[in-house]
Copies of this chain bind each other. A is one copy, B any other.
Amino acid sequence: MIRVTVWNEFLHEREHPEIAAVYPQGIHGCICGFLQQAGFDTKAATLDMDQHGLTEEVLDHTDVLIWWGHKAHQAVSDEVVQRVYDRVMNGMGLIVLHSGHASKIFRKLCGTDSWRLKWREDGETELLWNVAPAHEITRGIDDYIRIPHEEMYGEPFGIPAPDELVFISWFEGGEVFRSGVCYHRGKGRVFYFRPGHEAFPVYHMPEIQRVIVNACRWAAMPRQDEPKMGAHPQQITAYGDTYPIMDIRPNEFQTTAGLHDQL
Contacts and interface: CB of A to CB of B under 8 A. Distances in A.
B110 A239 contact: no
B165 A176 contact: no
Interface stretch (A48-56, A61-69, A240-248): A240-248
A94 to B, nearest CB: 12
B130 A224 contact: no
A37 B239 CA distance: 35
B133 A229 contact: no
B242 A119 contact: yes
Interface residues of A, number: 108
Indicate the member of A131, A141, A249 with the most B CB atoms within 10 Å: A131
B131 A178 contact: yes
B176 A134 contact: no
A262 B136 CA distance: 41
A41 interface: no
B144 A131 contact: no
A184 B160 contact: yes
Indicate the member of A119, A243, A253 with the most B CB atoms within 10 Å: A253
A243 B143 CA distance: 14
Contacts of A187: 133-134
